[in-house]
Amino acid sequence: MDAILAQLLNGLDKGGAYALIALGLTLVFGTLGVVNFAHGALFMLGCFCAVVFRYLLTIETVTVDPTQLSPWGAPVEVRTPLVQSWLGDWGAFLVDYSVPLSVIFAVPVMLVIGIVMERGLIKHFYKRSHAEQILVTFGLAIVLQEIVRSFFGANPVPQPIPADLRVAADVGVWFGMEAYSVTYPTWRLVYLLFSAGVIGAVFAFMRFTTFGMVVRAGMADRETVGILGIDIDRKFTIVFGLAAVVAGVAGAMYTPLLAPNYHIGMDFLVLSFVVVVVGGMGSLPGAVVAGFLLGVLQSFASMNEVTSIFPGIDQIIIYLVAIIILLVRPRGLMGRSGVMES
Amino acid sequence: MTAQAKAVAPDAVPGNIVLHVADVFKNFGGLKALSDIDLQVEEGTTHAIIGPNGAGKSTLLNVIIGRLPPTSGAVVFDGNVLTGMAPHEINQLGISRVFQTPEIFADLSVLNNVMAPAFARRDGAFRVNMFRAVMDEAEIRAEAEGLLREFGLYARREDHAGALSRGDKRRLELAMCLIQRPRLLLLDEPTAGMSRHDTNTTIELLKSIKSRGMTIVIIEHDMHVVFSLADRISVLAQGRLIASGPPQQVKDDPRVKEAYLGVPAE
Amino acid sequence: MFSLSRKDFTLLAVFSVIVMTMPIWLQPLGAAYPGLMQKFVIYAIFAIGFNILFGLTGYLSFGHAAFLGVGSYTAVWSFKLLSMDMIPALFFAVVFAGIFALFIGFFSLRRSGIYFSILTLAFAQMSYSLAYSVLTPITNGETGLLIARDDPRAIDTMLGVGQSASGMPMPSLIGIELGGYGGFYICALVLIACFFLSQKIFASPFGMALRGIKSNPTRMIYTGFNTKPYMLTAFVISGMFAGLAGGLLAVTDPIAGAERMQWTESGNLVLMTILGGVGTLLGPVIGAWVIKYCENIFSAINTQMLNGFFEFLPDGVQSVAVTVMSKFVGEGWHLTLGLVFVLIVVFLPGGLVEGAEKLRHRFRRRSDTYDLAADAQEKRT
């Protein structure tokens, strides 16, 4: 029981990341009809928003303290982050919490990136074939990741978890089990709650705002919405920006769990496409359900009990599920039938 | 499938009945699109199916070519039950179809558009013929070129078919069907959206095809076309066959008049 | 069986000359190394095969790198178990890649469009993951599969082919060791044969059927073609070309690693084909050459060379120019590649070949109108 709970939790935070990426991917596909292979790159840019944010916070001043001497007699250099010297303890707190705070930084940045991308490139591809969309966004993804590499190098850039959150949460107790039978890193829990929050926000936005209703109508029937004289173009731009923001914040918050490098996006892209397909192309709830489902499935497949029977199953389970779903039920778990079938 | 289906087929198909739509029902959920349709098409005749909009003409056509399975009943072509067959199998039996909006190979040359169906006729549904060039197939090429001359498309044989006018596309599609020497030609509103002049040209073309003994089933709105061509006419209304017979008889049928009343004819 | 139309024959002759004289004309371009030329030739084969699928049928596979990988592994195993001769190695590489393609194609082709792309992608990623994990006994995991001096090599032992006294055995062709230029010329001959085969397929009724499927699948089935086996045949053929390319990679350098199977490699293949021109005979070859050449040239440029190049500029401007340019070369050459790729898809979806055609037409139209009339005349007859 506790082993199962532990695996479930392990899968859920990863599933949260999959769900968030897939959400944007399917949103863009459902409304704009664009297959965006650069969506992984947006996740990667989100990761580097956190990196940049921390970098900005930790710009230091170097002062020489003549009262203190190092062992070989030279005055000690004291490095203080500027924010800390300006704001004192409050500044130190900012530095410590750079990752969660970077979300605030990532939202406008990703929104701008998304809008620029859509206006500059994607909008020209609404009417072109899916193959061409795949190709151009694949090219764009390469460009974005190479730009990031030229600034940050090829090595992963680890990001710290805020000190207060480095402890493990005793999850077992919440479920009435013995103390410390199931523990779970607090940050993963935070990520899980965060992704649930973002997903909730996106759904609320889609359901309760006029904008969201128009977009949903557009997903169901693009032509009619166009005929109604609604300026669907501007809405598309915002949808794309929104998808970029969701992918970006998913990335920013994920950095402590997996140190980002320039090709982290490509790694996540294939998986999130699989998630979208399993959930059903163009279905928002499908993407979320499939994201968590596959995350959990992957986590269970990596249990020793499973890998001893099917060695390597943890490596391929997601693809296997995707292949089976595509062959047996091409519209996925919750997709409409016939979407993009030739 | 075919062998099994044959066993189910009615034994006595008179020699000159080439297509038999036998007691076909088609329901979409609760909607009865076709009820108890029984139609026989004699070899060498032109059989027109008419009816007001929504009468079920297209559904019937789709049932005949196997795109839609009937809820009950069967379509028998030349002793073969078509129900459950794949479209390419139905074509291989000798049924060619012209679509309402022309379905052609827009990216291929006009000549290749006509040659491709000829290969399907000669080589069957699948054959990897990798080592002979298309252009070396002199016999098929000559046949295709002859047909294009007849259809007035010869001068454009090297052009991409997608560049043709709508009328030319229709004629091309007809040529693509004819080169297969089908035993049954299905035409789905072959003059829809055509000018009077183009319509007349098409009628002349179809008359010449008909005069060669081709069996034709035609679905049409335009009464002018129907009465110029048809040997027999069946009238569909609300998914039922309300009349069937020679043109004059159908014209005088009170039920037909009733069905068309209120639905302004052409 | 071996006949070609006059136009195709001329093209084949010119193509053969161009390929065989590579060591000469690549000299001034600074790329006449056997190792590099082998890459040019092998990736051209890879792209030609991919083009038979993507160019003719329009089905975009994102999993072809897997077939390349299978070809490489099979060839190295043939070197290890059977013989250092390249003939069995290539034979088995093609056969195994073909069987593998048959399997993947059988399932993937049940879907079309984006679903087909994702299925091939999923299959390929699965193979890649397996090669790194469970299949390590076959693939030797991250180290890559290598030949060793004490491999059994049953056929060689049986025939009493001795090994050289020292060093690793080299792949050979009927006893002749394939190093340097020898290896290049063998690969070049294989490329010419592949090009010929692709010409035959393009001109054949089979090729026409594939084009028909791309152009209008509905019309194809109502015309009596069973499209599924056509697609599968095309998929297997193109998988076999990839296997052949993978086998040749192993012939020129007997090592096989899983990184060849990664999906970004498939992406690069797509890139080559698009860059040159999808669906054209020469396009994929040109695309492969341009990309491999640029990779070689751009990735070799360093800051020092840039400094030299921009020396004529004033100091400050020079350093700015060098800093900017250095992002696009060396390690960063992939950035250039990505940019070129985006630009090609946006502005020249037909690739370089179509671009050249357009230029030629524009040039012609301007230069003289008589030519156009003659052209039309020619078309009519």
Q: Which residue blocks in chain C are alpha helix, DSSP H?
A: 6-20, 22-25, 34-57, 64-81, 86-108, 113-132, 136-139, 154-159, 180-203, 205-215, 217-222, 227-252, 263-276, 283-300, 303-309, 315-326, 333-347, 351-367, 369-380
Q: Which of A143, A316, A327 sits opposite C130 (nearest CB)?
A: A316
Query: Domain containing A277 — which CATH number?
Result: 1.10.3470
Whole-prediction pTM value?
0.86
Residue C374 has pLDDT above 70, yes or no: no
C221 contact residues in B (CB cutoff 8 A): 86-88, 91
Per the DSSP assignment, residues forming a β-bridge with A169 are A184
The proportion of chain C whose per-residue pLDDT surpasses 90, expressed as a percent, equals: 35
Mean pLDDT computed over A225-243: 78
pLDDT tens readout for residues C99-143:
999 999 999 998 888 888 888 988 888 888 888 888 888 888 777
- Is the Cβ–Cβ distance between A27 and A239 less than 8 Å? yes
In a domain, C87, yes or no: yes
Chain A residues with a Cβ under 8 Å from any Cβ in chain C = 35, 121, 124, 128, 130-132, 134-136, 138-143, 146-147, 149-150, 154, 266, 270, 273-274, 277, 281, 311-312, 315-316, 319-320, 322-323, 326-327, 330, 340-342
Mean pLDDT computed over A283-294: 90
- Please give the residue that has the higher pLDDT: either A66 or C339: C339
**CA distances in angstroms from C312 to B12, C309, C315, C368, listed in the order given:** 95, 8, 9, 42
Q: Per-residue confidence at A342, pLDDT binned at 50, 70, 90?
A: very low
Mean pLDDT computed over C200-223: 92
Mean pLDDT computed over C209-226: 92
B180 contact residues in C (CB cutoff 8 A): 223-224
Mean pLDDT computed over B48-68: 84
Report the pLDDT value the prediction gives residue C164, as an integer from 0 to 100.
59
Q: Which of C1, C206, C216 sits opposite B106 (nearest CB)?
A: C216
Residue A245 has pLDDT above 90, yes or no: yes
**Min Cα separation A39/chain C (Å):** 15
Give me the DSSP letters along A6-73: HHHHHHHHHHHHHHHHHHHHHHHHHHH----TTHHHHHHHHHHHHHHHHHHHT-EEEEEEEEEE-TTS
**Min Cα separation A175/chain C (Å):** 36
Instruction: Decide if C342 and A312 are in contact by the 8 Å CB cutoff.
Output: no
**Min Cα separation B228/chain C (Å):** 27
| Contacts (Cβ under 8 Å, ≥6 apart) of B191 | B198, B199, B202, B203, B220, B222, B225
Instruction: Decide if C201 and B130 are in contact by the 8 Å CB cutoff.
Output: yes
Report the pLDDT value the prediction gives residue A327, as an integer from 0 to 100.
81
Residue C165 has pLDDT above 80, yes or no: no
Please report how many Cα atoms fall inside a 13 Å half-sphere around the Cα of residue C30, on the Cβ side. 7
Instruction: Decide if C346 and A124 are in contact by the 8 Å CB cutoff.
Output: yes
Q: Which residue blocks in A97-169 are alpha helix, DSSP H?
A: 98-120, 130-152
- Please give the residue that has the higher pLDDT: either A227 or C210: C210
- Residue of chain C with shortest Cα separation from B186: C222
Task: Return the CATH fold of B1-94+184-266.
Answer: Rossmann fold (3.40.50)
Q: Which of A140, A154, A326 sits opposite C115 (nearest CB)?
A: A326
Mean pLDDT computed over A36-40: 90
Report the pLDDT value the prediction gives residue A212, as an integer from 0 to 100.
83
Instruction: Decide if B176 and C230 are in contact by the 8 Å CB cutoff.
Output: no
Q: What is the mean pLDDT of chain A?
A: 83
Number of structural domains (chain C) is 1
Report the pLDDT value the prediction gives residue C370, as an integer from 0 to 100.
47
Q: Which domain holds residue A210?
A: 2-52+100-328
Report the pLDDT value the prediction gives residue B13, as an integer from 0 to 100.
40
Q: Which of C123, C135, C267 sits opposite A323 (nearest CB)?
A: C123
Residue C371 has pLDDT above 70, yes or no: no
Please report how many Cα atoms fall inside a 13 Å half-sphere around the Cα of residue A204, on the Cβ side. 6
SS3 B81: strand
- Residue of chain B with shortest Cα separation from C218: B103
In a domain, C371, yes or no: no
B112 contact residues in C (CB cutoff 8 A): 208, 211
Sequence spans of domains, chain B? 1-94+184-266, 106-181
- With b for 16 or more beta-carbon neighbours within 10 A and e for fewer, the B117-154 pattern comes to bbbbbebebbbbbbeebbeebeebbebbbebbeebebb
Q: Per-residue confidence at C86, pLDDT binned at 50, 70, 90?
A: confident
In a domain, A95, yes or no: no
A124 contact residues in C (CB cutoff 8 A): 346
Instruction: Decide if B129 and C225 are in contact by the 8 Å CB cutoff.
Output: no
- Residue B262, burial from CB neighbour count under 10 angstroms (0-12, 13-18, 19+): exposed
Tokens of A204: 């609320």
**CA distances in angstroms from A94 to A98, A194, A254, B54, listed in the order given:** 6, 19, 18, 69
- Number of residue pairs across B and C with CB atoms under 8 Å? 106
Report the pLDDT value the prediction gives residue B264, as an integer from 0 to 100.
46
Instruction: Decide if C212 and B105 are in contact by the 8 Å CB cutoff.
Output: yes
Report the pLDDT value the prediction gives residue C142, as an integer from 0 to 100.
78
* ipTM of this complex: 0.85
Q: Per-residue confidence at C381, pLDDT binned at 50, 70, 90?
A: very low
Find tokens 């930790």 and name the residue.
A58
Number of structural domains (chain A) is 1
- Is the Cβ–Cβ distance between A245 and A21 less than 8 Å? no
C347 contact residues in A (CB cutoff 8 A): none
Instruction: Decide if C200 and B116 are in contact by the 8 Å CB cutoff.
Output: no
Residue A332 has pLDDT above 50, yes or no: yes
**Min Cα separation C308/chain B (Å):** 50
